[in-house]
Amino acid sequence: MMRVWLGLAWAGLVVLPWYGLEAPLRAISALQPEALPALWQGRVWLWPLAIPLLMAIPGRPRLLALSGALGLAWLCIEGLAIGHRGWGAPWLGALFGAPGPTQPALGWGAAVYALSCVMLAAIGLARQGWCRGDVFVLGSLLLVVGLIVLFVGFPVVSILTSAVRDNAGGFAPDLFAEKLFNSSIWGLDCLVGTHACGVAWNTLAQATLVGVLATLLGLAFALAALRTNLPLKPLLRLLSLLPVITPPFVIGLALILLFGRAGVVTNFLALHFDIPRSRWIYGMPGITIAQLLAFTPIAFLVLVGVLGAVSPSLEEAAQTLRAGRWHTFRTVTWPLIRPGLANAFLISFIESLADFANPLVIGGNFNVLSTDIFFAVVGAAHDQGRAAVLALVLLAFTLTAFMAQRAWTGSRSYTTVTGKGDAGLSAPLPGPLRAACYATVLPWLVLTVAVYGIIMAGGFVVTFGRDNTPTLDYLWTAFSIERGVGGWFLSGSGWRSFITTMELALIATPVTAALGLLTAYLLNRQNFMGKGAFEFLAMMSFAIPGTVIGISYILAFNVPPVELTGTGLIIVISFVFRNMPVGIRAGIASLSQVDRSLDEASQTLGARSFRTLRLVIVPILRPAIVTAMVYSFVRAMTTVSAVIFLVSGEYNLATVYIVGRADVGEYGVALVYSAVLIVVMAAVLAGISAVVGRQKIGRRGMLAADQPVVVQA
Amino acid sequence: MSGPTSRLRMLAVAAGLFGLAALVPRPAAAQGSVVIYCGVDEAWCRAMATTFEKQTGIHTDMTRQSAGEIYARLRAEKDNPRGDIWWGGTGDPHLQAAEENLTQDYKSPQLGQLRDWAQRQAERAKFRTVGIYLGALGFGYNKEDLARRKLAAPACWADLIKPEFKGEVQMADPNSSGTAWTMLATIVQLMGEEPAFAYLKRLNANINEYTKAGAAPAQSTGKGESLIGIAFQHDLIDVAKRNFPVQVVSPCEGTGYEIGSMSLIRGARHPEEARKFYEWALTPEAQKLGALNRSYQIPSNTATPVPPEAPDLSRIKLIEYDFATYGSSATRTRLLGRWTSEVKNAPR
């Protein structure tokens, strides 16, 4: 084992090209010196990398652990100290003389070397008795931590450092303070004067409004589904899946077509009731409706779980004690679902904070943090420092809400279904409440159906609302296939982004699921120091808004030592680390249902942890694996906020392409493309459930209270 | 092992194989490749890239973004440029990039064949850019909407601040859009800075939205989401040609214009191929692709036929646009800062 990793480490130094991830083969064929392995580079600072490998002696575990650590440490130090244009920090230049040596970005050799060092350290530590001497556990633990530090921690730190610098790169704390406390972020003029309020307050107000309304709507739906005899359940189940497979911004688009100044409903009202046309939908009202359409199903899923866990026998007891329906609801049901309400509120709140696409499409002049971050980077003003500051503010908001949510749901259990004698029937709702439920649910259902009707049909008419002649022009523009000289080829403008999206999503899917479930296994089955911190780190990437991830990836990975911008790899990585928490939650939820005695039995029979994992746990986790794979695929297909910063000409993505079309007003193409995406994803979902057994996915989608909650940001 | 598990495994293997196939570096064309940052309409960008690829065999990698976004990208990537050539988009950011030494000077042998405004653009930038088309600024209104409201048609910049158009005018945000920056600079040159800002503040009361993209107001006007949209005339003509009720107006006081430009990026990874594209893009054959893809600007090569749909320059009052001043970073930063604080963030 140890010899294998040691050999790989040597291979990384002596055989593989040390620099350059992009097309290393081409570089080798051109005999570029950068493509040479580290030790043949003639770069003196790479030679010490061999020392730890000479130190690694099989019989000396302490030395082995040390050598792995030293190798990694020197790799980080030399990588950060020597950039592609000389010294990585000005003080090094002052010390050793500018401009200093240069080196390009690390490549495959460096990656293999780093991985081997991690494994050598793990072997060394395991042989000293850490983690009961289990190399597999220790190795995966160090690996996951290393990856999270590199792809979550390092970018966030880059944002922090970029926030305190000016545009030229100098250290400027005054500028940072000025930017942080700028009135455009924190101004409260809208309360007293007629100026617009600061963007931070806008964002908070928007998120609070959406959080409250989504929770109430979700509650109404949950009550209607579980406590009335409305024949809604199959429909609700379908509707709760829809937002997952909807590209996030098309809801805003559909709302414009319905309620915009020239929208269908507006036209109708203006023609028949003489109600003047207005642009009321642009801004807070539009964002609120769009986000409610997207996030209510999540609140619904949470609340259905909680409401389903309220034991009918308690309510029956109350009624036996002669409490009326209303009294029962108020004193028994309501207190029991309160934590669920808080949870639903916080999740909707976080999602609204992070939502990028809807404010972009329908926000009008109403600014929120996520879009402001985007414009600070891409706008002509181009102020990365400001973008970083805004990102920090947004990050502070989401992390606070995230921690509040964990504190709420972590320590309390309000579950009353015990499995013992639960034969009762749930109390019917009090009359007024039932009426209120119907009055909310039915119009909302009509709106949802109208919105999705437009999304599916809007791309197949000339101009929705103006000229409803059916046409296939937009479909043809985006997805035409022509026969040319060299045979059939895909000539539509959407093919390239569509295929790239499928490819990258399919690469990311197994990696995301594997990494997520491995992490879940470590968290659920192993005990180690700093487990709480590890869990927090792993789940945190879920709370980091996509725009923040996007900007931080640009800041961290545009220049050596790790240079990834413009590649497909960076998009895959952003998919993996944004969606991994879904796999973690699904894995933990399943693992906690499996008794540890199974693992112990396997281990008693002499299997080590890897074998146990492979033969005992993975087969049991099958539904969780499917959940994780499905969701990471679908999320990768529909995400826009992070990747809009990361796409390039070669690697453009479907969602970014659609946003671009919508941005210049070509709604036909945008809608047709979205409809195609929705159909494809629905087919993938149906296909996977047909292959691996539909029932389990179905039940998870509806009932599990700690179901991984999935939405787009 | 149970059936579903092995099927699951097959699924995972299939996904993995498909993924691996994509990770393998895509075959590089024998003729090399070129990374184009394109600043005009998507259809035109795509036609340019594919036609060039077809004719030369050079693999093209095209990204379409607004001029402001490309400029921002160039600045972000200046330590490590990814693009080779920046083709299209309004001229001011090109001039700014030239001033900041982000682009490479180059004198094309075809320079003499270009119209004089295109040559002057090159001279201004010390030959770090060159003009490829000219587009005049203007505004458009929705004819149906105007008739329904029984309002007089606006004909001048001054008409746009009339109270009856309150909340009816749309323009892009000059911070992100080259189009809107041209409008801001035009108004300042027409009226002088102080009266111009007084005008813009009054106009602000009539603006319903500052969009991000320069062409968006033209689209909104066509769809009836806005009554009036300020944009380049060729964008408005494009919307009108698609059977939307848009009337294009050339303001009576005179109007500014853009010189869409092309620049070679300094430190490009494929300088040879970029130069080939540069030369090709100046030929009449390449410039004809604009009109074919519904972009009705006036092309810069004298030998390229002017599309009949293009705005008739003899009927437009063009101002003496001072590109040297209004293309410089200092002026731009100052005016944008002033506009943002005094106009955009002003009370409504």
pLDDT at A415 over 60: no
Confidence of residue A425 (pLDDT cuts 50, 70, 90): low
Residues B166 and B282 in one domain: no
Q: Which of A532-536, B159-163, B172-176, B330-334 has the highest mean pLDDT?
A: B159-163
Q: State residue B3's pLDDT score.
A: 45
Strands B130-142 and B298-299: antiparallel
Burial of B322 from C-beta contacts in 10 A (0-12 / 13-18 / 19+): middle
pLDDT (mean) for A60-70: 85
Q: Is B216 within 8 Å of A663 when comparing Cβ atoms? A: yes
Question: Does residue B106 contact residue B121 with C-beta atoms inside 8 Å?
Answer: no
**A507 vs B19, B336, B347: nearest CB:** B19
SS3 A704: coil
Half-sphere exposure of B13 (CA within 13 A, CB side): 6
What residues of B are in contact with residue A87 (Cβ under 8 Å)? none
Determine the length of chain A.
713
Q: State residue A699's pLDDT score.
A: 38
Which CA distances in Å does A165 have to A168, A378, A532, B334?
Answer: 8, 18, 33, 21
Percent of chain A whose pLDDT exceeds 90:
4
Residues B96 and B208 in one domain: no
Residues B227 and B157 in one domain: yes
Domain extent for B168 = 136-256+331-344
Q: Which helix (H) or strand (E) holds A547?
A: helix A546-557
Q: Is A379 within 8 Å of B173 when comparing Cβ atoms? A: yes
- The verdict on residue B7 lying in a domain is no
Please name the residue of chain B whose CA is at the shortest distance from the CA of residue A281. B225
Q: State residue B22's pLDDT score.
A: 44
Q: Is A565 within 8 Å of B82 when comparing Cβ atoms? A: yes
Question: Does residue B207 contact residue B183 with C-beta atoms inside 8 Å?
Answer: no
- Enter the tokens of residue A290: 């769009």
Distance from CA of B72 to the nearest CA of A (A): 6
Q: Which helix (H) or strand (E) holds B87?
A: strand B85-87
Residue A560: closest CA among A16, A112, A18: A18
pLDDT (mean) for B217-222: 90
Q: Is B348 within 8 Å of A194 when comparing Cβ atoms? A: yes
Backbone angles phi, psi at B255, to 5 degrees: -145, 160
Q: State residue B24's pLDDT score.
A: 41
In whole angstroms, give the CA distance from residue A536 to residue B128: 51
**pLDDT, mean over chain B:** 84
Q: Who has greater pLDDT, A231 or A358?
A: A358
- The verdict on residue B96 lying in a domain is yes
pLDDT tens digits, residue range B53-77?
888 888 888 888 777 778 877 877 7
- Enter the tokens of residue B80: 């490590």
Write the CATH number for B161.
3.40.190.10
In whole angstroms, give the CA distance from residue B25 to residue A647: 17
The ipTM assigned to this model is 0.75
In whole angstroms, give the CA distance from residue A363 to residue A255: 12
Residues B224 and B89 in one domain: no
HEC sequence for A331-349? HHHHHHHHHHHHHHHHHHH
pLDDT at A704 over 50: no
Tell me the DSSP string of A39-58. GGS--GGGGGGHHHHHH--T
pLDDT tens digits, residue range A487-506?
666 767 788 889 889 989 98
Backbone angles phi, psi at A321, to 5 degrees: -80, 15
Backbone angles phi, psi at A657, to 5 degrees: -60, -45
Amino acid present at A69: A
DSSP code at position B32: -
Q: Is B25 within 8 Å of A26 when comparing Cβ atoms? A: yes
- The verdict on residue B326 lying in a domain is no
HEC sequence for A620-643? HCHHHHHHHHHHHHHHHHHCCCCH
Q: Which of A232-236, A332-336, A433-437 has the lowest mean pLDDT?
A: A232-236
pLDDT (mean) for A467-490: 75
- The verdict on residue B141 lying in a domain is yes
Tell me the DSSP string of B182-228. HHHHHHHHHH-HHHHHHHHHHHHHHEEEEESSTTHHHHHHHHTS-SE
Q: Which helix (H) or strand (E) holds A314?
A: helix A312-320
Q: Which of residues 13-32 of B touch A (CB under 8 A)?
A: 15-16, 18-20, 22-23, 25-26, 28
Determine which of A34, A507, A671, A697 to mutate to test the interface with B (most B C-beta atoms within 10 Å): A507
Determine which of B223, B235, B238 to mutate to test the interface with A (most A C-beta atoms within 10 Å): B223
Q: Which of A186-195, A543-552, B260-269 has the lowest mean pLDDT?
A: A186-195
Q: Which of B42-51, B247-256, B320-329 has the lowest mean pLDDT?
A: B320-329
Q: State residue A209's pLDDT score.
A: 94
Residues B210 and B337 in one domain: yes
Question: Does residue A462 contact residue A656 with C-beta atoms inside 8 Å?
Answer: no
SS3 B122: helix
Residues B155 and B286 in one domain: no
Determine which of A195, A261, A467 to mutate to test the interface with B (most B C-beta atoms within 10 Å): A261
Q: Which of A279-288, A665-674, B62-71 has the lowest mean pLDDT?
A: B62-71
pLDDT at A590 over 50: yes
Residues B65 and B120 in one domain: yes
Q: Which of A165-179, A376-390, A626-640 has the highest mean pLDDT?
A: A626-640
pLDDT at B195 over 90: yes
- Tally Cβ neighbours within 10 Å of residue A604: 9
Confidence of residue B347 (pLDDT cuts 50, 70, 90): low
**B7 vs A379, A493, A691: nearest CB:** A691
Confidence of residue A21 (pLDDT cuts 50, 70, 90): low
Peptide bond into A561 cis (omega under 30): yes
Q: Which helix (H) or strand (E) holds A701?
A: helix A694-702
Q: State residue A33's pLDDT score.
A: 64
pLDDT tens digits, residue range B290-317?
888 888 888 999 998 888 888 777 788 8
Residues B337 and B297 in one domain: no
What residues of B are in contact with residue A26 (Cβ under 8 Å)? 25, 28
Question: Does residue B142 contact residue B220 with C-beta atoms inside 8 Å?
Answer: no
In whole angstroms, give the CA distance from residue B75 to residue B83: 11
- The verdict on residue B232 lying in a domain is yes
Amino acid present at A689: S
Q: State residue B31's pLDDT score.
A: 62
- The verdict on residue B19 lying in a domain is no
- Enter the tokens of residue A304: 């259905």
pLDDT at A349 over 60: yes
Determine which of B20, B80, B86 to mutate to test the interface with A (most A C-beta atoms within 10 Å): B80
pLDDT at A165 over 80: no
Residues B88 and B191 in one domain: no
In whole angstroms, give the CA distance from residue A64 to residue A71: 11
Residues B251 and B264 in one domain: no
pLDDT (mean) for A152-179: 77
**A665 vs B79, B220, B243: nearest CB:** B220
Residue A346: closest CA among A290, A287, A402: A402
Q: Is A256 within 8 Å of B225 when comparing Cβ atoms? A: yes
Domain count within chain B: 2
**pLDDT, mean over chain A:** 79
Residues B127 and B94 in one domain: yes
Distance from CA of B303 to the nearest CA of A (A): 30
Q: State residue A572's pLDDT score.
A: 92
pLDDT at B106 over 90: yes
* CB pairs < 8 Å spanning A and B: 165
In whole angstroms, give the CA distance from residue A523 to residue A206: 35
User: In Å, how far from its chain's centre is CA A677?
Assistant: 19
Q: State residue A458's pLDDT score.
A: 84
- Enter the tokens of residue A140: 């995966």
pLDDT at A272 over 80: yes
Tell me the DSSP string of B230-246. EEEHHHHHHHHHTT--E
Q: Who has greater pLDDT, A631 or A358?
A: A358
Spatial CB neighbours of A59, under 8 Å, sequence gap ≥ 6:
none
In whole angstroms, give the CA distance from residue A653 to residue A636: 10
pLDDT at B8 over 70: no
pLDDT at B113 over 60: yes
**B345 vs A196, A509, A563: nearest CB:** A196
Confidence of residue B139 (pLDDT cuts 50, 70, 90): very high
Phi-psi region of B235 (alpha: psi -120 to 50; beta: other; left: phi over 0): alpha
pLDDT (mean) for A327-338: 81
DSSP code at position B59: E
Structural domains in chain A? 2-128 (no CATH), 186-470 (1.10.3720.10), 473-702 (1.10.3720.10)
- Enter the tokens of residue A87: 């010294």
Q: Is B7 within 8 Å of A692 when comparing Cβ atoms? A: yes
Residues B240 and B340 in one domain: yes
